[in-house]
Every structure is written in structure tokens, then in C-alpha cells.
A and B are shown apart, each in its own frame.
Chain A
Amino acid sequence: MDASKSRPAPAGGESTVARAGVADFLVRRSRFRPAEALPWIAAIAAFFIFPSQMVLGGQTLIMILFALSLDLILGYAGIVTLGHAAFFGLGAYGASLLITDLGWSEPVSGLLAGALIAAIAGFLSGWLLLRYRGLAFLVLTLSVTIMLQQLGNLFRDFTGGYDGIPGVNVAPLFGRFDYDIYGHTYYLYCLGVLLIVFYCVRRIVYSPFGQALVGIRENIGRMNALGSPVHWRLVVVYTISAAVAGIAGALFAQTNAFVTLGVFDFDQSAAVLIMLILGGAGWLYGGFIGAALYMVLQNELAKASPEFWQFGIGLLLIGVVLFVRRGTLGRVLNVSRLLQARTQP
């Protein structure tokens, strides 16, 4: 962005030229770079190399999607929340109740139902809460999520309480592909959903709207002064983020064939935040690296030492912060440069 400052602002008559230049810049910037295929190739390769680990693989893809939703608001709009599990949980319950209460078990519409419910909640809570920032916002989102969980516990007949709702059995995908114990179908299903959602999110991020969000993140005062509708832009991105988290939650319920109030746990909000920071926020691929690393490492450590695996995770987190400094593991691996479209025209 600094580059534009060094150039003299075009005079009034040239504004259309300048606008065309900006449009051109945005289009060029959003082009896919070859290296961006790497994560997807890795995901497909994992399917063939570790065929017996695909249940974990599916859970990892879901966490990547969840982290991606958080990246939208944390990485691009600078909003730190401790209540993102609320949208994940609402999506999970939306998809589950569609099956168990309404008897509609087609999987893709389940995802849409989860996204819709989470989006509505995101819109309402965002409209109310996004006036606040910092510690207040952190504690507000945290408290609202806990209250939501307690409310679910109070209406146990409806939600199943912490014992949950068993028998969330989705119909075969597209009426043809059934699910297997090895989780192969689920893995491909999750990967497909992730790819589609990722494409949409990428479009949003590189649109003028996404640019405005970065502006809000970098200097909210100036964006206000420019007359940018800051609050509404934040509400919109928060709603989109909630919808994506809802899709992740819906996938979670469908692949586990089960949902409990545990999906609203504080741990859930904290874990996704850790994964995203681990991989680095604000470049879309942070969740890929963070979630994959965290999930696989946790699984392996817990296998080696069921009691003390947290020690290893803790060591990793501290090590990353101290020695990579920016806390962005992706950057030290130097892949971000390859994956991130250039920010300068």
C-alpha cells in the first residue's frame, strides 16, 4: 500500500484512468498463483498416502474450514473473538435437527441449513457487539457463547444436552456415495466443501470489500473519516464468517453422525484461535498449516503419551512465538510469499 503513496495522486481529470488502474491492480492481485495448488495437492496426496488416517484427515479439514472462517474476521478485519464456537455449534445443531427432527437427510442442504442459522446469529450478534473492541469484545463473545451453551442445557429435551443427539445419519452423498468406516467418502466430501468455500472466501478477500476490511484493520479511525460504512462492513464480514463456521459445524455433525453441547466449549473457540495464530492470520492459508500441524501433532503426541501430550503442544506454541517471533509458522517456512498474491501493483 505504501507504494501508492509515493506516486503523486492523479489530478481530477485522470480519475477514470486511476480507477481503471486500481481495478487492474485488484484483478492482477487476485490471480491464482501456481504455488497455491500446493495445499490441495498435499490434501489429495494425503488421501493416497495415509488411507487409514482419513477420519483424522476429515476432522483436520473441518478445523481448517473453521480456522478459515476465523481468518476472515481476525486476519482481514482485525477482530479477536473467543466466541467463534457459537457459530460452529449452531451450524452443527442446525444440520443435526434438520435430520433428526425434520427427517430431511440430504447432506448438502444440511450444510446450507447450518450456514443459514449461523449467519442469522452472526448478523444479530455482530450488529449488537461489533460496536465494541478489545477486551470488552473478547469477554462479550465469550460470555454470550457460554450462555448459549447453558441455554441449550436448560432445553435438554430439544438439544439432547451434553449427551447429545445420536443418529445424525445423513443420506448418501448425491444419492450415490455412501459412507465407510475409514472415512474416505467423508474426507473427499469435506475437501470438496473446503475447496468451494475457500474459492468464495478468496474472492471476497481480494474484492474491493476485502480491501476496505484491511483498511479497517489497519486504521479504523481513518476509514471512519473517509466515510466508509465501517460498522456495516464489519457486520457483513462477521455474518459471512459465521456462515462459514456454521458450514464447518454442520460438516462436523454430519461426519460424526452425532452432536453434543460440547461443540460450544470454550476449548473449541480457543483451539481454533491457536491453530490460526500458529499458521499465521491474514493470508488465507494460515489455517491449513496451523490446523494440520496442531491436529496431527496432538494425535501423535497423545498416542505416545496420553497423559502428558499437552506438554509437547505447549512447548511448540512457546517455541513458535519465541523463535519465529511473528508467530506465523507459514512465514518461516517461507511459503507465504509463494501463496500470497503480491500486495503491490
Chain B
Amino acid sequence: MKIAGAFAVALLAFCCFGTADAETIKVGVVLPYSGPMSDLGNQIDKAFGLYIKLHAKDLGDNKIELIKRDEGPPSGANARTVVTELITNDKVKLLTGFVFSPSAIAVAPLVTQVKMPMIIANAGTAWITDLSPYIVRFSFSMWDPAYPMGTYAATKLGCKTAAAGFTDFPPGQDSTLAFKTAFEKAGGKVVDEVRFGPPGPVPDFTPFFQRVKDEHPDCFYVFVPSGAHAAGVMKTYGDLNMRQAGVRLIGPMDLIPDYELAHMSDAAIGLVVMASYSDDLDTAGNQEFVKAWHDAYGPNSYPDFMSAAGMDTMAGIFHVINTLHGNLDDGAKVIDTLKGWKHEGVRGPIEIDPQTRDVIQPERAEEVVKKPDGKLGIKVLETYPAVKDECKVLKLGRCR
């Protein structure tokens, strides 16, 4: 065994002599590939694949290898098991993915212990980045779109009262709290908070919406997980004639998943969302990206805000590999490389906050409009160029 090992090492040294710099960097990707939320994992997985396809040559001699593992149910235990295996068996140099906040929270002590950089591509609970100095987040905090939406609704949309409705799990709870904090700070009043139940099954939204309709708020702020839930929200909003009744639907970008917008009825027209990304965004970089996406995944697949964050995440990983010439052994160095990094991504200019290691990104108030070709699209009403996680600015709850 020992002899064979020595022989293998010798062979390796021999064959690779002269290209000692070339490394294959193993990256552990933890995403929900199965289960009720696998649609979210799918959008990010596609983004990772596309970025690597488009930019593989940027790495020079180095290569990147993704080792994909199923994040499993959002109870944290499965994520912890697969992450441990990725670290101890697969010897990955870096972890990324993480759709569910509980997974990221459960893994945080582990990455601190072994000084393993962990680059979050989705999980949005605000205080995750406080849990370990080895965590960097490229996606968003739940506060990022919700807080400016509260300000915008009160000051620009002229809403005096609002009701909030949310899927009853941490992203929904946080998003609603963020909206309420900003909205009431700007002089508005949240009159009702309606819980839509757990995130698994899409509920029949009608009774919730009927309740809100009868309360006649100016605005109805809704958070639901992107995907099937969002489609249900739009149908119910349309079915109940809520727009005609004077209740304006607003929310974060999750409300209009880009692959759904085309199928949504005209009831969606006039909806205002706060979004870091939309595939209808009128920038040169984005149009190029959308075209590449369709070329790779067909005309019926659309990128969304999670894919956008996925692209930027992978861009960050490439930046680290190139800056450190493929040597990612020192986790602290990896994190330092990313601190304060500025990048012109598909969302627009983003930056990693050197203090919090969380992303600073643009948020745009977007209205759903009917475009000349008869399809639904978005119109940017206002841009907040560099939004920080307000939860950490205000130091609320667990946020520091």
C-alpha cells in the first residue's frame, strides 16, 4: 500500500513536472437538488454551470471542479453531514450554494472550526454572516429588497396604510419585519399581518386575500417563496379584483419569478416590486447574459434573481482563484481577497462589504407593464444604487 502510494506520488510529480502551478480546485456545491424546493436549487445550479462555461478560459492553467451534494430537507442536519464529507473526504477548498438559511446556520460553526471559506449563493436570513468570519454572502439579506420597499411605498407610492402577508417561515417573517420597520419609519401604518402557513404546499390564497381586501389597505405587501407560490398569489389577486378595489400589490422580487411573468395574467400589470435583478433589465451586460442563458438552456428557461446571484457568486470564486493563483489553502486569505471586492455583475455594480462580508447591491423599484409586443415586462421606476443590509445597520435582534 505504502509502496503503491509512493509510486503514485512519484508518477504524479513526474507527469506534472513543469506545470506545478496548475491546480484543480475542488468546490463543494450544496444545493437542494431534490425535494419541494429543488426549483430554487436548479436556478442556481444552472447559473454556476453557465458561468463556468462562459469563463473557464479566464482561469488559465487552473481548473475548477464542482462537487455537487443535495442540501436535503431544511433541518440543517443533512447539510452538516454532506459538508463534513465534502471537507474531510473530498478535500474541497471552498463551499458554496446554500439555499436554506437553516443549512447555512447549522454549518457555520463547522466552517469556523476548520477555517473553510463558505460563499453563500442564496440563504437570506440577515444575521447568517455574523455567525462566522469565514462566511461571505453574494446573494442578499431578506432586508435588502424589503426595507427600501417600505420606504418607497410610503414616500413614492403614497400608501398610508398597508397590510402584510407572508409565508410563515423565516424569510417571510424577516421580509415583513423589514418592510414594516421602514414603512412605519416613513410614516405609514401596517394594519394587519397575515400568515400564509408553511412553505411546503402552496395554499389556497383566497381566504387570506379576501380578508385583506375587506380591510381596504392602500398597499398589500406580500412575501412568498419564488415559484409556484408566486403564481398562486397573482391568480388570486386577479380573481378577487383587488386592483379594482384599490388595493395595490407590492413586494420583493420573489413575487414575479422571471420564468412566470410571461404566464401571468394582466392582473399583474401595475404591480410594484423591489428587485436586485430582473431578466427584463435594460442593460447591455444583462441582455448578453439572458441571451447566453437561452442559448444554453433553451427558450423556455429564464434566469432570475437567484441565477443572477449565482453568476456573481461564481465570479467571486473565479476572482479568488485568479488572485491567489489557485492556492486556496488559507481560508482567511480567501475571505480577505473578497472583502471590499467590487464587481460589475448582471445585477449591476456590487461590492462585498469589508465589515460585514455581506453584499452591497443595487435595488430597483420596478413596475410590471405591458410591453409593445403584448408581453408583460418591467419598467424601472427608481434605483437605489448601493443597498446595505439594514438589519445590521440598525443592529436589530440577532443582527450585529
Instruction: Assess A/B contact in the complex (Cβ within 8 A).
Output: yes
Q: Which residues does A use to contact B, with CB under 8 Å?
A: 52-53, 55-56, 59, 149-150, 153, 156, 161-164, 166-167, 169, 181-183, 252, 256-258, 260, 262-263, 265, 267-268, 299, 302-303, 306-310
**Structural contact, A55 and B80, CB atoms closer than 8 A:** yes
Residue from the set A164, A258, A268 with the largest chain B CB neighbour count within 10 Å:
A258
CA distance A31 to B222 in the complex (A): 63
Determine which of B68, B85, B88, B105 lies in contact with A258 in the assembled complex, contact meaning CB atoms within 8 Å.
B105
**Structural contact, B102 and A306, CB atoms closer than 8 A:** no
A164-B105, A306-B69 as given contacts; A256 in contact with B169, CB under 8 Å: no
**Structural contact, A252 and B77, CB atoms closer than 8 A:** yes
Note all chain B residues with C-beta closer than 8 A to A169: 109
Given contacts A181-B88, A260-B106, A263-B75, 15 further A-B contacts (CB under 8 A): A52-B85, A53-B89, A56-B81, A153-B168, A156-B173, A163-B125, A164-B105, A166-B108, A181-B84, A258-B109, A260-B75, A299-B81, A307-B34, A307-B70, A309-B34
With both beta carbons as reference points, the residue of chain A lying nearest to B30 in the complex is identified as A306
B300 within 8 A of A: no
Note all chain A residues with C-beta closer than 8 A to B110: 181
With both beta carbons as reference points, the residue of chain A lying nearest to B76 in the complex is identified as A258
CA distance A55 to B110 in the complex (A): 12
Determine which of A55, A262, A309, A310 lies in contact with B81 in the assembled complex, contact meaning CB atoms within 8 Å.
A55
A161-B173, A162-B170, A256-B76 as given contacts; A52 in contact with B89, CB under 8 Å: yes
Shortest Cβ gap from B215 to chain A (Å): 21
Note all chain A residues with C-beta closer than 8 A to B68: 306
With both beta carbons as reference points, the residue of chain A lying nearest to B101 in the complex is identified as A163
Which size bracket describes the interface of B in this complex? Answer: 35 or more
B227 within 8 A of A: no
B114 within 8 A of A: yes
Task: Count CB-based A-B contacts (< 8 Å).
Answer: 105
Q: Which residues does B use to contact A, with CB under 8 Å?
A: 31, 33-34, 38, 68-70, 72-77, 80-82, 84-85, 87-89, 101-102, 105-106, 108-110, 113-114, 125, 131, 168-170, 173, 198
With both beta carbons as reference points, the residue of chain B lying nearest to A169 in the complex is identified as B109
Note all chain B residues with C-beta closer than 8 A to A182: 84, 88
**Structural contact, A164 and B106, CB atoms closer than 8 A:** yes
A262-B76, A302-B69 as given contacts; A163 in contact with B102, CB under 8 Å: yes
19 residue pairs A–B, Cβ–Cβ below 8 Å: A59-B77, A153-B169, A161-B170, A162-B74, A162-B102, A163-B101, A163-B105, A164-B106, A166-B105, A166-B109, A182-B84, A256-B76, A256-B80, A257-B106, A258-B105, A299-B85, A303-B69, A307-B70, A309-B70
Shortest Cβ gap from A89 to chain B (Å): 10
Shortest Cβ gap from B392 to chain A (Å): 16
Shortest Cβ gap from B79 to chain A (Å): 10
| Nearest 4 CB-CB pairings of A with B | A262-B75, A306-B33, A306-B70, A55-B84
Shortest Cβ gap from B13 to chain A (Å): 25
With both beta carbons as reference points, the residue of chain B lying nearest to A266 in the complex is identified as B200
Note all chain A residues with C-beta closer than 8 A to B69: 302-303, 306
Shortest Cβ gap from B384 to chain A (Å): 26
Note all chain B residues with C-beta closer than 8 A to A153: 168-169, 198
**Structural contact, B77 and A256, CB atoms closer than 8 A:** yes
With both beta carbons as reference points, the residue of chain B lying nearest to A260 in the complex is identified as B102
CA distance A262 to B75 in the complex (A): 5
A181-B114, A256-B106, A306-B69 as given contacts; A164 in contact with B81, CB under 8 Å: no
Determine which of B31, B82, B84, B169 lies in contact with A161 in the assembled complex, contact meaning CB atoms within 8 Å.
B169
CA distance A182 to B131 in the complex (A): 21
CA distance A265 to B81 in the complex (A): 18
With both beta carbons as reference points, the residue of chain A lying nearest to B32 in the complex is identified as A306
CA distance A47 to B170 in the complex (A): 38
With both beta carbons as reference points, the residue of chain A lying nearest to B69 in the complex is identified as A306
**Structural contact, B102 and A164, CB atoms closer than 8 A:** yes
CA distance A183 to B84 in the complex (A): 9
**Structural contact, B170 and A163, CB atoms closer than 8 A:** yes
CA distance A49 to B53 in the complex (A): 39
